[in-house]
Chains A and B, each alone.
Chain A
């Protein structure tokens, strides 16, 4: 069967007109020109951007150099202020990590019951985590050396202060009361009786506590008191400064005195 073109003849001629007599070459040339124009515009835009940004980079570099030069002239100030702040931080941390001995002694005087008298007291700041030990003098000796050789402060955070208190009491019941009362001291974590010996007893333990100086029949006792570990100094961020003290604002008012010999309060 033979194919028949159903498009009228005049119409067929019009479709040929789109291509034209050049056979489509004109369209291609037009497309090429349009494409080239678009590419040239893009190239020009990029070139313009480059030249503009190169200039901007040069200006920024010059500004940076100027600012750095200005900063360089002030470097000595920065170093000095940093040194001052570091030194203040160090001193502040040392101050913060100290044990408040005065307050502890005040507390001791506050809690000691009537009928007791202190004969001697030895307090030391031991190493971190050290516990109250029956042989306190030896332990505090070793612990304090450990603490002070390896850390910043001679009483570093985490150190455990301990008191070894020796004295006389009017009775063993008073010694028991003393142990109870010592637990009321601010910051105390542990109270341990080392010995409580009546001077009339055969063991002669009084000599160890008070050299046998207690009145006849009165027990002499030795108690170890352990305090909570010293807190870590808080991070001090650039203290505002140091003020010379006009007068001492420090100091705890001691209300109760403790007699060194067996006079009841």
Chain B
């Protein structure tokens, strides 16, 4: 065996030994290190996600008072129950502003016009978590007054130009309007036998929360109910509403 052969053999042996150490010792350790590094990366992402959720929750906590006030106010527009007496009172009050006689209100849709009778099937229809509640109102007054009244009916809940809703009464959607001359009998009853007197039959839809829902989902001014569900239309909290507490402090 020549010197060159011996050197080559020893070189190959050296490489084999180093390769064996690499594959048996160093490579698995490096692989493990890469895995742990990926785990750390994942843990960092989870932490970032959790922190984002926490920030969101903190923001929700900060906005709670506003949301609570909004829901209380929205309860006027869309109550949990039919609240028909309140609606009648509201309509009566609206007619007092004009020379209009509030003749009748019918729960559901009366058969006075073919258009309105057909939409009686909407009673059970639910819309976006709200239940529709059709009504037929009959008013007597002049064209101008009835026109103003229509604006007032829809003006109980309006969206202001700046964005927020402005609520002063029930949310009503007028489905149909029929204006016809007042019959002489009705005119004489109202002691206003003017030729300009019209009978306005208005078919409108009011909205209520779905059955079993409460306006505030059991929340109080101090905080939400512990088991607050996230559903928008059907908050399944208790129907009882804790009265708002207001604390006044003097400096």
Contact = CB atoms under 8 A, between A and B. Distances in A.
Interface of A: 19, 23-25, 28, 31-32, 35-36, 39, 42-43, 46-47, 49-50, 53-54, 56-57, 60-61, 63-64, 67-68, 70-71, 74-88, 90-96, 98-103, 105-106, 109, 118-125, 137-138, 140-142, 144-145, 148-149, 151-155, 213, 239-245, 248-252, 254, 257-261
Contacts of B162: 240
B108 interface: no
Nearest to B122: A148
B150 A35 contact: no
A199 B135 CA distance: 37
Interface in B183-210: 195-198, 205, 207
Interface string B95-117: 00000000000000000011111
19 contacts: A23-B7, A28-B13, A39-B22, A77-B60, A77-B61, A78-B60, A78-B230, A79-B230, A81-B60, A94-B128, A94-B171, A95-B158, A99-B174, A105-B150, A242-B165, A243-B167, A244-B168, A249-B158, A254-B147
A257 B143 CA distance: 7
B113 A46 contact: no
B150 A101 contact: yes
B219 interface: yes
Contact of A32 (B18, B47, B231, B233): B18
B241 interface: no
Dominant secondary structure of chain A at its interface with chain B: helix
B6 interface: yes
Contact of B195 (A141, A240, A259): A259
A81 to B, nearest CB: 4
Contacts of B175: 124-125, 144, 148, 154-155
B60 A42 contact: no
Contacts of B26: 39, 42-43, 46
Interface in B108-167: 113-119, 121-122, 125, 127-130, 132, 134, 142-144, 146-148, 150-152, 154-155, 157-160, 162-167
Contacts of A102: 147-148, 150-152, 154
Contacts of B142: 257
A87 B74 contact: yes
A155 B177 CA distance: 13
Given A19-B3, A78-B56, A155 B173 contact: yes
B47 A60 contact: yes
Contacts of B231: 83
Contact of A60 (B44, B60, B152, B198): B44
B144 A254 contact: yes
B228 to A, nearest CB: 4
Contact of A82 (B7, B66, B230): B230
Given A77-B61, A94-B127, 17 more contacts: A23-B7, A24-B10, A74-B54, A81-B60, A83-B71, A83-B217, A87-B129, A90-B128, A90-B233, A98-B174, A119-B180, A124-B177, A137-B114, A140-B176, A241-B165, A243-B167, A261-B195
A120 B178 CA distance: 7
Contacts of B88: none
Given A67-B51, A124-B175, A145 B119 contact: yes
Contacts of A35: 14, 17-18, 21
Contacts of A86: 129, 232-233
Nearest to B175: A154
A76 B159 contact: no
Nearest to A146: B118
B173 A87 contact: no
B205 A121 contact: no
Given A43-B29, A49-B37, A53-B37, A251 B151 contact: yes
Contacts of A142: 118
B232 A90 contact: yes
A15 to B, nearest CB: 11
A90 B130 contact: yes
Interface in B12-66: 13-14, 17-18, 21-22, 25-26, 29-30, 32-33, 36-37, 39-40, 43-44, 46-47, 50-51, 53-54, 56-58, 60-61, 63-64, 66
A249 B166 contact: yes
A54 B129 CA distance: 49
A137 B232 CA distance: 37
Contacts of B173: 94, 98, 153-155
Contact of A95 (B165, B196, B233): B165
Nearest to A101: B150
